Structure 1
Amino acid sequence: MTFAPARRDYVGFTVTESADVVFDNITLHHSGGMGILGENCHNVTVKNSAVTPSGTRYISTTADATHFVNCTGEINLINNLFENQKDDATNIHGIYAMVDSIIDDKTIEVRVQHPHQFGFRFIDQGDTLELVQGPSMITYGTNQVAQVDRISKEITRVVFEDTLDKRFAVGDSVAEVRDYPTVLIKGNTIRRNRARGMLLNCRGKTVVEDNYFHSPGAAILFEGDAEFWFEQGGVSDVVIRNNTFDNSVFGVWGMLF
């Protein structure tokens, strides 16, 4: 039996708005949160590295071994060991923000919903946003941002170039339409962790090959939601080949209730 605090504040490595970042031959024994967190980055590689507890410890990271949000370019995870973390080996996704109020036919205020996302910057002037029906995540269409005003770490006021779709309502969500990264996950070992293997929610081409999975939840999970985690999904091009799936889903993680 292990105990942990409710908060996951202390990341091993945080990389924000950076480009061409390589983690090579890094061993991370423990962190009080994610192991490697990449936000709004372009080209991130983690290779020949390990997230593994030291000595007699049972736990490595207290959340995901790696986690990537609103990144572009390439994300490469090659020849790594991810074990004994209290969440997934990786989670690659975008961000949804919920519509808090509609000011007029071109202006809305959106609120990031999950506390882990407070302060996250993902809307800039000139961006294109998709307008998404909340529970179903069906996209009404897109609209370009004319003006942005950060009201607080939670709320952003957005003025669009064009009139909003009349179906768009409070409780729906927006997400950035961007240059989605290509993802290569090759030659990794994922085992002895608490949750799933990998949450792959990227719309760029994704290749998962030559990996070993032994996880209590789904080895590979495609997901996304605009109701709790507010993680933008929409996987469309994935190749999965030559992997070993060793008795995954022997716990509850990755199953729906």
Structure 2
Amino acid sequence: MRKFITILAAFAVLGSYGQKVLNMKDFNIEGVKDVTPIVVEALEKCKKEGYSSLVFPKGTYHFYPTFAPEFFSEITNNDNGLKRTSFPLIGFRDFVVDGNGSDFIYHGKIIPFIIEESSNVKVTNINIDWEVPFTLEGLVVANDETKNTFDIEIKTPYVVEFERLYLSLEREDSPYERKYGKRFAMWEHYNLEIAENIFWDPKTMAPLYNTQLYHLPERGVKAEEIKKGVVRLSAKMKKLPPIGSIFVSKGDYLQNRTSPAFRVFKSKNLEFKNVNVYHAGAMGLIAERSEDITLDGFNVVLRKGSGRMVTTTADATHFCNVKGTVVIKNSIFENMLDDATNVHGTYLRVNKIVDDYTLAVETYHPHQNGYLFGEEGDSVKVVSQKNLQYTTEALILKKVKRVNEKISFITFDKPITGKVEIYDGVENISWHAAAIIENNIVRNNRARSFLITTPRKVVVRNNQLSSQMATFSITGDLGLWNESGPIVDLLIENNVIDNSVFGGNGAQAIFFIEPQYPEKKNKEGIYSKNITIRNNIIKTFDSSILVAASIDGLTFENNQIFQTDTYAPIFPNAKNISIENCTNVVFKGNTYKKIDGKEVTISIDEKSSNVKIDKGDAFSIASKKMKSTSKK
């Protein structure tokens, strides 16, 4: 009998197909207050003894940073620093983490998953949330235009400091204590300084229409506690927020991206399937210097019944310096405080020309300090800071010497004499990703749906998209984020776009394709190539549909455009179509059903050439009138 039990146990451990499975049930984790040290121990056992899977019995598990291992992490587009984690998947091969639909509830500043130097890893069937969110959300219960004040009701305790508001995001029984003559709250994230604010509409579950009208200054906001749970804010604003709206704050700039749900670095062949990220104190997933990543049913969504307005405090997903293919499919991204996804490289700036073969280069945006730009053997090109045109052929990195988090010396295999100027950019052309983005839903988020800046083939199809800013932002810049990688082959087809660009943050377009030149006069040469936008259904209340600049090969065909009355137009005089410095442009088969009686409008500048608009296209009449006017 004992022998029979031993055989059964062996089969249980090996699991199906001979895989060696470690079940967390054997660690008696059910009901444990903090499972972090137990999970870390289990992962060490998996790595040491060659287990292929770590499986959780379905349940709710709480993770605290107290006993979590920590690593110094330089995470691009997020906050660097010592990061604690519950799943240090570092140096793992052919491994699966299966939560069986479990809820992983996090407390404090901690990154749930750090995946580094790993390959063939799959994370599946888990739900990630924080007990206490990284954002403040308060219901606007009163406003006073004569005094420039509005009141917010908060269901959590708070701390008021003169001239600044600090709010604790803990439960109502959270204790206060007094030290050094000031009040502090015992909570999970430290006090939150009010900054980077936005107002949400609980009726639409999205940011308020024309959000920029309600901009709250980052400094000089006075706070007064007028009764328990109600705080009065005083500040100069264009317009006070309406009663019933939700005030959302995520904290001070450069200090509010501490805890992404997934950090991926130097890894390949990864799959994330049936994962729900209900909240994170930064991005849902940030991947860099990695390759071949698939997200299938990777949802950044509100937990039903949570009463919250915000999921992630930054992008739902972000891929930087990634190669191979990024696949994002069957996913929902909603209520983020930034974009649904961003696929790009990053330019480094030339700080000093050392000699004919060597440059000192630097990161520019503070969130890119420590960014791993390249390693020996990578191919790079130099880009002009003035017009974003390449000034060199492909160069091979022969040596990379890091000085500090901002400065590195890079040495090439060929001379660069006379081809480089201070503040030019250097682009790593070895690390760019192809992408397939299909069958996803993006809705109710601040900012954009998709930012795509890569010279590999990209297909975006069969998605339902609605975001506060441009649905598609395709650009490149050496001015702030320094995102690199001009498009060379992009197909956008069969998507439904529903009333995007409702934030009022400048006259953006649904398709906003424009490199960011330091000066308009430098808009010369071609930046992107071969962009096809076809068979999309576009519902829009505002005027601007497409802004296209510096493209060779743009096709806009068979798109059905419907004007809606969902909102009043914010920029009614903007051209429907704007073409600047483009060549080989085709419009055909597009329809546009207007309800305001206004004519369709198009603008084509003098630098553009070979622009063809078919006779039956919705924009053909506008094109003829424009030519007639220009002749006069």
- TM-score w.r.t. the length of structure 2 is 0.40
SS of aligned partner of 1:60? coil
Which residue is equivalent to 2:423? Answer: 171
Identity, % of aligned pairs? 34
- Cα distance change, pair 2–38 in 1 and its aligned pair in 2 (3 A): same
* In 2: Cα distance, 1:252 partner to 1:45 partner: 34
The answer to whether 1:25 aligns with 2:281 is no
My pick for the range that moved more, 176-185 or 227-236, is: 176-185
Q: Which structure exhibits the higher relative contact order, with contacts defined as CA atoms closer than 8 Å and separated by 6 or more residues?
A: 1
SS of aligned partner of 1:140? coil
Consecutive unaligned residues in structure 1, runs of 5 or more: none
Which residue is equivalent to 1:53? Answer: 302
Look up the equivalent residue of 1:235 and give its one-letter code: I
* In 1: Cα distance, 2:367 partner to 2:388 partner: 21
Q: Which of residues 240, 260, 268 is equivalent to 1:11?
A: 260
Q: Which of residues 402, 406, 414 is equivalent to 1:162?
A: 414
* In 2: Cα distance, 1:253 partner to 1:236 partner: 28
CA contact (8 A) 1:101 1:170 kept: yes
Look up the equivalent residue of 2:483 and give its one-letter code: E
Look up the equivalent residue of 1:130 and give its one-letter code: K
SS of aligned partner of 1:235? coil
SS of aligned partner of 1:120? coil
Quote the offset at 1:225 in angstroms. Answer: 0.7
* In 2: Cα distance, 1:179 partner to 1:66 partner: 18
SS of aligned partner of 1:20? strand
Look up the equivalent residue of 2:273 and give its one-letter code: D
Look up the equivalent residue of 2:452 and give its one-letter code: L
Deviations 1:171-225 (A, max 9, x none): 1110111153221100100000000111011111111111001111111111111
CA contact (8 A) 1:110 1:157 kept: yes
The structure with the largest alpha-carbon Rg is 2
Deviations 1:15-44 (A, max 9, x none): 101011111000001111111001011111
Quote the offset at 1:167 in angstroms. Answer: 3.5
* In 1: Cα distance, 2:370 partner to 2:297 partner: 32
Which residue is equivalent to 1:199? Answer: 451
The answer to whether 1:70 aligns with 2:316 is no
Look up the equivalent residue of 1:41 and give its one-letter code: S
Q: Which of residues 377, 390, 398 is equivalent to 1:139?
A: 390
- Cα distance change, pair 155–9 in 1 and its aligned pair in 2 (3 A): same
* In 2: Cα distance, 1:127 partner to 1:240 partner: 30
SS of aligned partner of 2:354? strand
The answer to whether 1:36 aligns with 2:282 is no
* In 1: Cα distance, 2:261 partner to 2:505 partner: 24
The answer to whether 1:208 aligns with 2:482 is no
SS of aligned partner of 2:454? coil
Deviations 1:35-84 (A, max 9, x none): 10010111111111210122111100011000000111110010100000
SS of aligned partner of 1:234? coil
The answer to whether 1:98 aligns with 2:344 is no
SS of aligned partner of 1:11? coil
* In 1: Cα distance, 2:504 partner to 2:430 partner: 33
The answer to whether 1:244 aligns with 2:496 is yes
Which residue is equivalent to 1:107? Answer: 358
* In 2: Cα distance, 1:85 partner to 1:165 partner: 46
Look up the equivalent residue of 1:177 and give its one-letter code: I
CA contact (8 A) 2:444 2:467 kept: yes
Consecutive unaligned residues in structure 2, runs of 5 or more: 1-246, 509-513, 517-632
Look up the equivalent residue of 1:174 and give its one-letter code: V
Look up the equivalent residue of 1:219 and give its one-letter code: T
Q: Which of residues 72, 80, 84 is equivalent to 2:331?
A: 80
- TM-score w.r.t. the length of structure 1 is 0.96
My pick for the range that moved more, 160-169 or 197-206, is: 160-169
Look up the equivalent residue of 1:238 and give its one-letter code: L
SS of aligned partner of 1:249? coil
Look up the equivalent residue of 2:327 and give its one-letter code: N
CA contact (8 A) 1:195 1:253 kept: no
* In 2: Cα distance, 1:197 partner to 1:240 partner: 13
Which residue is equivalent to 1:229? Answer: 481
* In 2: Cα distance, 1:221 partner to 1:133 partner: 22
Look up the equivalent residue of 2:382 and give its one-letter code: L
CA contact (8 A) 1:99 1:173 kept: yes
My pick for the range that moved more, 214-223 or 135-144, is: 135-144
CA contact (8 A) 2:321 2:431 kept: no
CA contact (8 A) 2:344 2:432 kept: no
Q: Which of residues 248, 262, 266 is equivalent to 1:2?
A: 248
Deviations 1:115-159 (A, max 9, x none): 111111122122221101113211101322221111111110012
Runs of 4+ more than 2 Å apart: 252-257
- Cα distance change, pair 189–140 in 1 and its aligned pair in 2 (3 A): same
Deviations 1:232-253 (A, max 9, x none): 0301111111100101112245
My pick for the range that moved more, 60-69 or 124-133, is: 124-133
CA contact (8 A) 1:188 1:211 kept: yes
My pick for the range that moved more, 78-87 or 100-109, is: 100-109
* In 2: Cα distance, 1:81 partner to 1:159 partner: 43
My pick for the range that moved more, 162-171 or 188-197, is: 162-171
SS of aligned partner of 1:26? strand
* In 2: Cα distance, 1:32 partner to 1:82 partner: 16
* In 1: Cα distance, 2:365 partner to 2:409 partner: 18
SS of aligned partner of 1:171? coil
Which residue is equivalent to 1:125? Answer: 376
- Cα distance change, pair 253–26 in 1 and its aligned pair in 2 (3 A): farther
* In 1: Cα distance, 2:427 partner to 2:453 partner: 13
- Cα distance change, pair 243–204 in 1 and its aligned pair in 2 (3 A): same
Counting matched residue pairs gives 257
